[in-house]
Chain A
Amino acid sequence: EAQVTQNPRYLITVTGKKLTVTCSQNMNHEYMSWYRQDPGLGLRQIYYSMNVEVTDKGDVPEGYKVSRKEKRNFPLILESPSPNQTSLYFCASSLGGGAVEHFGDGTRLSIL
């Protein structure tokens, strides 16, 4: 089954404790991206990757890092999480930028 898998689905942690949210897709998509979804603000792109070793900032990249060492994986790293990063995060993949994006089921992060 074609899918985007994120882990963990839920995480409660404390300010400053580094965390990584993993994302994996099995559709051989070149383009992957991370979004955060906040009430009243919709989906906002954090980072995207056009292909392996090619990443770029989206609209709200501050406080986040990503890497794309393999085509299927695109982890999101919060080096020093802060409470304003409490949000619902989605990973997505597609054939290319601007194409239909296939989303994972989300990771709800709470930073205390």
Chain B
Amino acid sequence: SQTIHQWPATLVQPVGSPLSLECTVEGTSNPNLYWYRQAAGRGLQLLFYSVGIGQISSEVPQNLSASRPQDRQFILSSKKLLLSDSGFYLCAWSRALRDQYFGPGTRLLVL
């Protein structure tokens, strides 16, 4: 069966520091991968999606970037965090069907 991992689970970072969140999927090949953010009291906002290695589409202008160095690895990064980057970050995958399956999430607090 397929599983999706995210780490770290929780992160507290100072403003201006770099960020790297990692997502990996097991049990499938060539998945579509997605990064979402859920701000407090808000819905899920799609940040990036990828249909293959090195292929990244950005949905909204922002302070973040994404990379897909391997088929089942998706990384969310920032060079300098802003206060507004705080939120709950979710990675998801899909394969063939349009159902997406989410990881456990990373709670980021920027102080």
| A and B part of one assembly | no
Interface residues of chain A, those whose CB is within 8 Å of chain B, are none
Interface residues of chain B, those whose CB is within 8 Å of chain A, are none
